[in-house]
Amino acid sequence: MVTFYRQRVLPRVTNVALGRGEYEPIRHRVAAGLAGEVLEVGFGSGLNVPHYPPSVTRVLAVDPATAGRKLAAERIARSRVPVEFVGLDGQRLPIASASVDHVLTTWTMCSIPEIEAALGEMRRVLRAGGELHFAEHGRSPDPGVAEWQDRLTPLHRLVFGGCHLNRPIELLITQAGFAMISVQNYYNKGPRPMKYIYEGRAARSQP
Q: How far is CA 74 from CA 49, 70, 113, in A?
A: 10, 8, 29
pLDDT at residue number 3: 66
Strand-strand pairing, 178-187 and 196-204: antiparallel
**Cα 154 from Cα 37, distance rounded (Å):** 36
Q: Is the pTM of this model over 0.85?
A: yes
pLDDT digits (tens, 9 = 90+) for 62-111: 998 888 888 999 999 999 999 999 998 999 999 999 999 999 999 999 99
pLDDT at residue number 19: 87
Q: Domains (ranges, CATH) in the chain?
A: 2-204 (3.40.50.150)
> What is the b/e burial string over 111-121, where b = at least 16 CB atoms within 10 angstroms of the residue's CB?
bbeebebbbeb
Question: Which is it for the CA torsion 84, 90, 94, 98, positive or negative?
Answer: positive
Q: Helix 67-78 crosses helix 10-17 at what angle (to 10 degrees)?
A: 40
Please state, as a whole number, how many other Cβ atoms lie within 10 Å of the Cβ of residue 2.
8
Q: Is it the case that residue 1 has pLDDT exceeding 60? A: no
Per DSSP, what are the bridge partners of residue 179?
Answer: 203
pLDDT digits (tens, 9 = 90+) for 113-143: 999 999 999 999 999 989 999 999 999 999 9
pLDDT digits (tens, 9 = 90+) for 11-53: 887 888 888 899 999 999 999 999 999 999 999 999 999 999 9
> What is the b/e burial string over 77-103, where b = at least 16 CB atoms within 10 angstroms of the residue's CB?
eebebebebebebbbebebeeeebbbb
